[in-house]
Structure 1
Amino acid sequence: MEMIGGEANKGATAMEAFEKLEKVGEGTYGKVYRAREKATGKIVALKKTRLHEDEEGVPPTTLREVSILRMLSRDPHIVKLMDVKQGQNKEGKTVLYLVFEYMDTDLKKFIRTFRQSGEHIPSPIVKSLMFQLCKGVAFFHGHGILHRDLKPHNLLMDRETMMLKIADLGLARAFTVPLKKYTHEILTLWYRAPEVLLGATHYSTAVDIWSVGCIFAELVTKQAIFPGDSELQQLLHIFRLLGTPNEDVWPGVSKLKDWHEYPQWSPQSLAKAVPNLDEMGLDLLLQMLQYDPAKRISAKAAMEHRYFDGLNKDSL
């Protein structure tokens, strides 16, 4: 375990070093606990992840992923990976405990509180959260890393400071196939880019930008913009609003593995679908929801978009 900055070797196992307070979630890759570090009293999030069943010890790919995660978590908009500890489960299989900073809420819960109160999320807050999201995404994209599963649930927040941090980064490759589908929400398709839904095998940083666009619309309306409950329904939601894509708007679309002949819809007005978003916001959203991944705005370019003019970027 020396490869993980030597930290995993500091004596105590996860069970000795931490007191589990409660289970706070069932993530795609394992259970998540709120825990107290016994030595310091600090509250942390412990993410327990199983490794491939047939592995002896911790595979080098996982160690590599963890060191990437550790490097990325230097960015203020990425949840900080503080430590990694090895443990055994009841069957004697190796489990890793990833120790993250604890954040008190996430964007999904934050949006829900506004939906329940019937209030809109104030536009300066939407703008600040969006800028922080673009900044975090630009950082890991700059290191050649894709997230692939950005959604409100894994954007953690501090209610006091309104700081947003991206979680669950890079876990997709490091850990086993997702565990069984606990609830419908775990493997939500709502934020999934059309090229992924259509079976593209090679995809780019643009898949994350599509998700960011979906999250942007949801911050404004408090409702998912494309709430599909199957891959087909998900595509149809997208096509109904943005128009059915074709070779003119998206060269190569009809060659994708899961492309079929779909009903022909014309594009609808984004301004109608996302009322209460100003002209600049709609312009940015449209650039994020381009069909052709090559035409989608990058996170870095999004940070320079005029929608963010007037925002105190240095404080974020």
Structure 2
Amino acid sequence: MTSRYERQEKIGEGTYGVVYKARDTSTAATVALKRIRLDSEEEGVPCTAIREISLLKELRHENIVKLLDVCHSEHRLTIVFEYLDLDLKKYLDRENGNLDAATIQHFMRDLLRGVAFCHQRSVLHRDLKPQNLLISREKELKLGDFGLGRSFAIPVRKFTNEVVTLWYRPPDVLLGSMQYGPPVDVWSVGCIFSEMATGTPLFAGKNDADQLMRIFRFLGTPNNRVWPSMNQYPNSNNMLSQPEFLQNFEPEWSHVLGSVPGYEKLGRAGVDLLEKLLRYEPSERITAADALNHPYFSLQF
């Protein structure tokens, strides 16, 4: 029951609900409570949602925030997680965006381990961004805040807090792809990798079109050779026929080490990994499991 948990303070508000710091009165442990508001016109929580959330309890890995408990009533779902007081966004801000090469590699390995574990178990995160990656006092990075609203059939109100997520969204999804799979998470991992190196988001778009344009400028204007499926998405014709998308941008990869401050911390191997994470064609993006075996992780910093 939720009476077991004493709320202490609000620590965040996301698309689907409010997160509180709380105390577990039975263990005295500090926990995080995520309260999800359910639409009043719906009849509570579907049984399938409860079952699927319960499966997340079994998703035990050192690089995934532990789900400890689930409490539900007619109008509210409360999910109890282990408490970590720092996320990667706050960590980057605290360090003024200046992580050293060894820390970037360490966090990247943790991130990929967590993502690979999820993908091996057919779980997608779908909302990877620095705010959803939590850092323990031992400097372990853990995946948090799984996109429950989209992963599970929970009737929830949508709030307008999607702009940050936009920055980590792959080009296929920007063009309306509904085929969510592991490559969606892999693209986000690439964006986060770059952000750890430079201290700033790689593609800080203002809307879908601006986001796609920033990607084109950095990766080069795609063609059917590098992105065979580019014309097969719901919004491909409408968006790609706009004049601004008909410009021909040269890819920056050939001189990226010298042109992007911070990438020197990745070395040539790190930039090669980044290129494999940020491929236009979803099926050509490296998998999280294969990325862990990339030569970048053999570098000694």
Output the TM-score relative to the length of structure 2.
Answer: 0.90
> Match for residue 303 of structure 1?
292
> Match for residue 180 of structure 1?
159
Give the superposition deviation at 1:184.
Answer: 6.5
Q: Which moved more, 1:53-62 or 1:162-171?
A: 53-62
Distance 2:26 2:277 in 1: 45
> Match for residue 103 of structure 1?
84
Distance 1:102 1:143 in 2: 24
- The answer on 1:67 being equivalent to 2:54 is yes
> 1:203-222 to 2 correspondence within 5 Å?
203-222=180-199
Distance 1:289 1:53 in 2: 41
Distance 2:175 2:158 in 1: 23
> 1:267-286 to 2 correspondence within 5 Å?
267-269=251-253, 270-271=256-257, 272-273=259-260, 275-276=263-264, 277-286=266-275
Distance 2:281 2:144 in 1: 27
Distance 2:174 2:157 in 1: 18
Distance 1:168 1:311 in 2: 32
Choose from 102, 105, 110 the match for 1:124.
Answer: 102
> Match for residue 68 of structure 2?
82
Which secondary structure does the structure 1 equivalent of 2:165 belong to?
coil
Cα distance per residue 1:63-82 (max 9 Å; x no partner): 1221221121x111111000
> 1:136-147 to 2 correspondence within 5 Å?
136-147=114-125
> 1:151-166 to 2 correspondence within 5 Å?
151-158=129-136, 160-166=137-143
Output the TM-score relative to the length of structure 1.
Answer: 0.86
8 Å CA contact 1:69–1:170 kept in 2: the answer is: no
Runs (5+) with no aligned partner, structure 1:
1-12, 88-92
RMSD: 1.8
Distance 1:46 1:228 in 2: 31
> Match for residue 114 of structure 1?
95
Cα distance per residue 1:211-238 (max 9 Å; x no partner): 0000000000000010001000000000
Give the superposition deviation at 1:105.
Answer: 0.3
Over 6 Å off, 4+ runs: none
Give the superposition deviation at 1:248.
Answer: 1.2
Which secondary structure does the structure 1 equivalent of 2:58 belong to?
helix
Runs (5+) with no aligned partner, structure 2:
none
Distance 2:147 2:173 in 1: 17
Distance 1:136 1:275 in 2: 24
8 Å CA contact 2:184–2:282 kept in 1: the answer is: yes
- The answer on 1:190 being equivalent to 2:164 is no
> Match for residue 30 of structure 1?
17
Choose from 238, 243, 248 the match for 1:264.
Answer: 248
2:72 aligned partner, one-letter code: Q
Give the superposition deviation at 1:37.
Answer: 1.1
Which secondary structure does the structure 1 equivalent of 2:125 belong to?
coil
Cα distance per residue 1:141-173 (max 9 Å; x no partner): 001111111000000111x21011101224122
8 Å CA contact 1:30–1:48 kept in 2: the answer is: yes
1:216 aligned partner, one-letter code: F
> Match for residue 245 of structure 1?
222
Q: Which moved more, 1:93-102 or 1:131-140?
A: 93-102
> Match for residue 290 of structure 1?
279
Give the superposition deviation at 1:310.
Answer: 5.2
**Matched length:** 287
Q: Percent identity?
A: 43
